[in-house]
Chain A
């Protein structure tokens, strides 16, 4: 069911390794899922999600990685009953989300992008009432709320007004709230957007803990590190389509290079790219904006001086160089010809 759609429009990136047949229980399935938003003010309508096929397995952390506007949030919206698909099917557990939204909602927990804590209630009450909304009795709900406050190190904030929480804390409360009714699937929409680095790492730990306990998680992110570090499998998304889907290592391996050298130089970067590709060190190059990326097999050791020397000899003045291993960003660039955060 997983989509494989190498992007034909942007040159010949090495094809991502084919997705193996789904094994284990699939708890999320999208079949031809499409959402078209009508254009406003005479603008043409926009296909936010375009014929998406996707399957998420029980117990995995599945990442939708893509830039803003890729269709990640719309996809999550359709899977969580809030966005009505134009066509196609969204299934969580065994429930068709469009046909049985109230039933589907019992199976899912959602942490949206913005702080949606109930401002009229305290931190404890936010958790407690969430349990009550999901049919838990007063006693069970109170116990679950207290247990989660303890586990998420929020005990001393139980009676706090939600407006007094820091961004990281509010996010933790929202995660706690979303899992309180023990959902089969947890949706995290850009869970660390806008968080400081420390809070981000704290939230990653929370997510990894949940994963260790078998929680199925679908998260969207435009941070490649987040997808790389947290996710069992990552789908790279752009313009409403999945361009590649694999483990992070599989995706990075699909680049067919061990080292990425990003160069900035005065002069025509395309000409420089041709020059570098003509040598036998560089296997492939890509120019985005004012950055030239050269991909090589093996390490940069020894290759770097040679590259710089040959550029110098040809009259290019290199102003900046960085050497990295291929990242998911590299994969994204090779698939789309643009950077994730453009």
Chain B
């Protein structure tokens, strides 16, 4: 950031400087944090309901009524493999819900993002702040969901935490979710919102290796290959690598894909944001 000389009499108390930009970025995050706080019950409900019901039906009800999932051998560890998957789904869900959906409204109808866009930072930084804000909310969602996937199932859950993996995979996954949210939010029109769920979220989660390990798809080779375009596959496999002893995809592939998707979606998302903001 260059700091060109500005006639001080022009700028009142405003002193243009690079430090203003950092504090502007912080203020944008603070604004989002306040909005989350104001809507905390809605936040918790939308975060908890899906994984809670899932883990309740498949991890508690099914074993209790003797309805197996994944064959008798798989059943024993189903609750263990489901947990990381549901946490990954919660993370990606939050990216869509906390970034994409509000942004579709703000660009489509209310234009209320206008004042934040006029904050004295480059436009890309306002987009980057949305990714950061989405990532923080995804991280929070992951923590909220964790006790449910551990405590609700009626069959034993065997988590064994690999901390170096977790403290890298979880934040990376959260950034990926925020970047996906920005990409979707800047490219979808308000009337297309219902399609986000049927065309994007549902196929992503059902085919995202959340409810089955990717490695077990060997029986359906074409599906095993096809789902590799889905970033959630790597997040779920990464979470499994960090939380369980269940066999998982190669670690390099997981990290490489998550970083690759994050970089690509950040690029596309910020590009989309610039296109929506600038004419």
- A residues contacting B by CB (< 8 A) are 25, 27, 37, 58, 77, 80-84, 93-95, 100-103, 105-108, 110, 112, 114-121, 125-126, 129-130, 132-135, 177, 181-185
Contact = CB atoms under 8 A, between A and B. Distances in A.
Given A94-B6, A100-B4, A182 B14 contact: yes
Contacts of B10: 25, 27, 58, 93-94, 107, 184-185
Contacts of A183: 11-12, 14
A327 B39 CA distance: 53
A133 B115 CA distance: 9
A124 to B, nearest CB: 12
Contact of B110 (A58, A112, A119): A119
B278 A133 contact: no
Interface stretch (B16-24, B156-164, B230-238, B246-254): B16-24
Contacts of B21: 102
A117 B113 CA distance: 8
Nearest to B22: A135
B191 interface: no
Contacts of A102: 1, 21, 120-122, 125
Interface in B117-136: 117-123, 125
Contacts of A135: 14-15, 17, 19-20, 23-24, 120
B4 A106 contact: no
Contacts, number: 134
B14 A125 contact: no
A193 to B, nearest CB: 15
Range class of the B interface residue count: 35 or more
B192 interface: no
Contacts of A101: 122-123
29 contacts: A27-B10, A77-B279, A82-B117, A82-B277, A82-B279, A83-B279, A93-B6, A93-B10, A95-B6, A100-B4, A101-B122, A102-B21, A103-B6, A106-B6, A106-B11, A106-B14, A106-B20, A107-B10, A108-B118, A112-B111, A116-B115, A118-B31, A121-B31, A133-B27, A134-B24, A134-B120, A135-B14, A181-B13, A184-B14
B35 interface: yes
Interface centre among B7, B111, B115 (most CB of A within 10 A): B115
A174 B16 CA distance: 22
A100 B116 CA distance: 17
A83 B123 CA distance: 12
Given A134-B14, A134-B24, A183-B14, A94 B5 contact: yes
Contacts of B7: 25, 93-94
A121 B34 contact: yes
Contacts of B115: 116-118, 126, 130, 133, 177
A130 B121 CA distance: 13
Contacts of B121: 102, 105
B268 interface: no
Given A77-B279, A102-B1, A103-B6, 17 more contacts: A93-B11, A94-B7, A94-B10, A100-B4, A103-B2, A103-B16, A105-B120, A106-B16, A112-B114, A114-B111, A116-B111, A118-B31, A121-B34, A133-B24, A135-B120, A177-B115, A183-B14
Contacts of B110: 116, 119
A46 B278 CA distance: 17
A77 B125 CA distance: 20
Nearest to A37: B279
What's the dominant secondary structure at chain B's contact region? loop
B123 A184 contact: no
A137 to B, nearest CB: 8
B198 interface: no
Contacts of B118: 80-81, 105, 108, 110
A103 B3 contact: yes
B27 A129 contact: yes
B113 to A, nearest CB: 8
A231 B226 CA distance: 65
A27 B28 CA distance: 29
B112 interface: yes
A103 B23 contact: no
Interface string B193-226: 0000000000000000000000000000000000
B221 to A, nearest CB: 45
B28 A133 contact: yes
Q: Which 7 A-B pairs have the closest CB atoms?
A: A182-B12, A132-B27, A135-B20, A116-B114, A133-B119, A184-B10, A106-B120
Nearest to B38: A120
A37 B278 CA distance: 13
Given A93-B11, A106-B11, A182-B14, A116 B120 contact: no
B125 to A, nearest CB: 8
Interface in B146-203: none
A108 B115 CA distance: 12
Contacts of A132: 23-24, 27, 30-31
A80 B114 CA distance: 12
A295 B132 CA distance: 64
A120 to B, nearest CB: 4
Contacts of B116: 118, 133
Nearest to B32: A120
